[in-house]
Amino acid sequence: MVIQDELDRMSRYVDDLLLLTKAPRPDFLRVAPVDLDLFTHDLFAKARSFGDREWKLDRTGVGIVLADQDRLTQAMMNLVENAVRHTVDGDKISIGTSLEGDEARLWVSDEGPGVDPADRERIFGRFARGKSQRSVDGAGLGLSIVQAIAEAHGGSVDLDSELGKGSTFVVVLPAAPKA
């Protein structure tokens, strides 16, 4: 059992590294129209299985975004997994999306410990973790994967965080592909 668990962990680790290697390639994404409202409800349903938290659906964007739904789901589930890791049973985690003007925003908010201002840039690097979060499991690849997926879509990741009050990670995407 221990050997199988370790093999599974190493397999996930290798898969994550391969994803980061493939992210800059032009065939990394399979872009298609994504109904943001339906996508958000699907994300929320999946997220609720990650832990016993007070789950809240903040808002759902209405409209179509051109994106790779599988990769976008992967990015958002990484953010959900991080939120669960940095909170405890009963804490609130919120998910939401918006589509306004020329950008779509997809976010996960939590009531965890927040991110130290000194760590805000560094945590998006490969193998990085916040200095105060050394005891949390993980290889330190999750946020770099989120950023790689956002950038492959022509977007970015924003972070709003306050120590002791939680964090909001926002994947920002262009509403339409760049010409």
Which pLDDT score, from 0 to 100, does residue 38 have? Answer: 97
Question: b/e map of 146-175 (b: 16 or more CB within 10 Å)?
Answer: bbbbbebbebebeeebeeeebbbbbbbbeb
Please count the other Cβ atoms lying within 10 Å of the Cβ belonging to residue 5. 9
Q: Is 2-174 a domain of CATH 3.30.565.10?
A: yes
Domain ranges of the chain: 2-174
Instruction: Give the confidence band of 179 by pLDDT, cuts at 50, 70, 90.
Output: very low
pLDDT at 53 over 50: yes
User: Encoding tokens for residue 15?
Assistant: 């898969």
Comparing C-alpha atoms, which of 169, 175, 36, 35 is closest to residue 103? 175
Write out the DSSP string of 50-111.
Answer: G-SSEEEEEE---SEEEE-HHHHHHHHHHHHHHHHHTS-TT-EEEEEEEEETTEEEEEEEE-
pTM of the model: 0.79
Instruction: Give the confidence band of 168 by pLDDT, cuts at 50, 70, 90.
Output: very high
If you average pLDDT over every residue of the chain, what do you get?
82
pLDDT at 112 over 50: yes
pLDDT at 34 over 90: yes
